Amino acid sequence: MASKKIIIANWKQNGSLRSLYTLTNQIIRAIKLKKIKHSIAILPPHVYLPMLSKQVLSNKKLKNLSIGVQNVSAFPDGAYTGEVSFEMCKDFGSKYFLVGHSERRQLFSESDALISKKVSRLLSCNKKVVLCVGETLAERNKKLEKKVISKQLTSALSLLSQGSNIKTNNIIVAYEPIWAIGSGKSASNKDIYNTHFFIKKKLATRFKSCKILPKIIYGGSVNNMNSKDILSIEGVDGALVGGASLNAKKFIEICSSI
Ligand code: 13P
């Protein structure tokens, strides 16, 4: 069997109480029927975390299904109107914390500095971070993708001191080329391989004293037609799926494609 992957469903600002409950049940059923062998995480909107975590966590046998959130505050309790801390999400079983998604960076002006605060706070508290990086189409057309990703990675990890005892297996880097998100056009297999290889080399240098390197997953128009090819690329440890993860049939096919 192929090595175990991590496949993460980012539901973004989509769904309703009823639709996400049904979707979660369908995923649970597929796992119980042993259709899915990989590790799966669902990232619902924050408000649905309490309900869906009950659904996920009450199934003790579902070891490979976890829940997480799409964004988290950089700060502990305090006067931060509208923000939600990781401690609050953890109360409802959140295991994964997505940070630095391009939609947060572009639509909500999240800066590299804020993202690095979030990353260091989560990692220093032994939490699992899914850190998104990726270039725009304009940057890609100017062949700047490596430079951009390198800067995003360096900045996101900049507040962690070299000798700190953070666990590298708490880090997942998601390579999401922005032009591939929601466009129906994923990056080519060759580009995915090359970029993952580049990220891996950077991480190997950054964490040279660590035995385990962070996992690297791909996101951007992953669907049930291309998932087998993408998940089979050397260096791809999993996928971050947006649109197709809102459709139970498609998402289950993605998760069981290799
Ligand atoms: P799509 O799968 O819809 O392209 O979205 C990718 C994404 O942004 C996941 O975080």
- Pocket lining: 220 vs ligand 1, CB cutoff 6 Å: yes
Q: Is 162's pLDDT higher than 80?
A: no
Number of structural domains found in the chain: 1
Distance CA 236, CA 220 (A): 13
Determine the atom of ligand 1 nearest the C-alpha atom of 102.
Answer: 8
Distance CA 238, CA 6 (A): 5
Task: Kindly list the distances between the CA atom of residue 133 and the CA atoms of 46, 96, 99, 170, in Å, as whole numbers in the listed order.
Answer: 22, 16, 9, 16
Query: Does residue 76 form part of some domain?
Result: yes
Q: Report yes or no on 1 lying in a domain.
A: no
**SS3 label, residue 147:** helix
Q: How far apart are CA 177 and CA 72, in angstroms?
A: 22
Count the residues in the chain. Answer: 258
The number of beta carbons lying within 10 Å of the beta carbon of residue 111 is 11
10 lines ligand 1 (CB under 6 A): yes
pLDDT at 53: 96
Q: Does residue 79 lie in a domain region?
A: yes
- Given ligand 1 and candidates 6, 42, 176, which is best to mutate, with the most ligand atoms within 8 Å of its CB? 176
DSSP-assigned letter for residue 79: S
Ligand 1 atom nearest to CA at 174? 10
Mutation to probe ligand 1, out of 6, 183, 218, 221 (largest number of atoms < 8 A from CB) = 221
Q: Say which CATH number the domain at 45 has.
A: 3.20.20.70
Active site residue: 101, 103, 135, 253, which one? Answer: 101
Question: What residues have CB less than 8 Å from 26, skipping those under 6 apart?
Answer: 248, 252
Q: Which of 3-7, 163-167, 248-252 has the lowest mean pLDDT?
A: 163-167
Q: Which of 10, 173, 183 maximizes ligand 1 atoms within 8 Å of its Cβ, making it the mutation to test the pocket?
A: 10
Q: Is 144 helix (H, G, I), strand (E, B) or coil?
A: coil
What value does the CA radius of gyration of the chain take, rounded to a whole number of Å? Answer: 17
- Rounded mean pLDDT of the chain? 95
CB of 53 shorter than 6 A to ligand 1: no
What's the pLDDT tens digit per position in 97-154? 999 999 999 999 999 999 999 999 999 999 999 999 999 999 999 999 999 999 999 9
Q: Is the pLDDT of residue 2 over 70?
A: no
Instruction: Output the residue whose Cα is nearest ligand 1's atom 7.
Output: 242
Distance CA 206, CA 160 (A): 11
139 Cα to the center of ligand 1, angstroms: 19
In a domain, 71, yes or no: yes
Q: How far apart are CA 136 and CA 258, in angstroms?
A: 29
Residue 101 annotated in active site: yes
Q: Which atom of ligand 1 is nearest to the CA of 223?
A: 2
Domain that holds residue 73: 6-255
Nearest to 83 by CA among 121, 55, 40, 130: 121
Q: 187 in ligand 1 pocket by Cβ < 6 Å?
A: no
Write down the pLDDT at residue 163. 63
Q: Is the pTM of this model over 0.85?
A: yes
pLDDT digits (tens, 9 = 90+) for 203-243: 999 998 888 999 999 999 999 999 999 999 999 999 999 99
Share of the chain above pLDDT 70, in %: 98
Angle at alpha carbon of residue 101, lines to 113 and 130, rounded to 5° = 90
User: pLDDT at position 164, please?
Assistant: 72
CA distance 106 to 155: 17
Using CA atoms, how far apart are residues 194 and 235, in angstroms rounded to an integer? 9
**What's the pLDDT score for residue 1?**
54
Can you tell me which residue has the tokens 């991480």? 203
For position 67, what pLDDT does the model report? 97
Ligand 1 centroid vs 163 CA: distance in angstroms? 34
List 103, 135, 176, 253, catalytic entry = 176
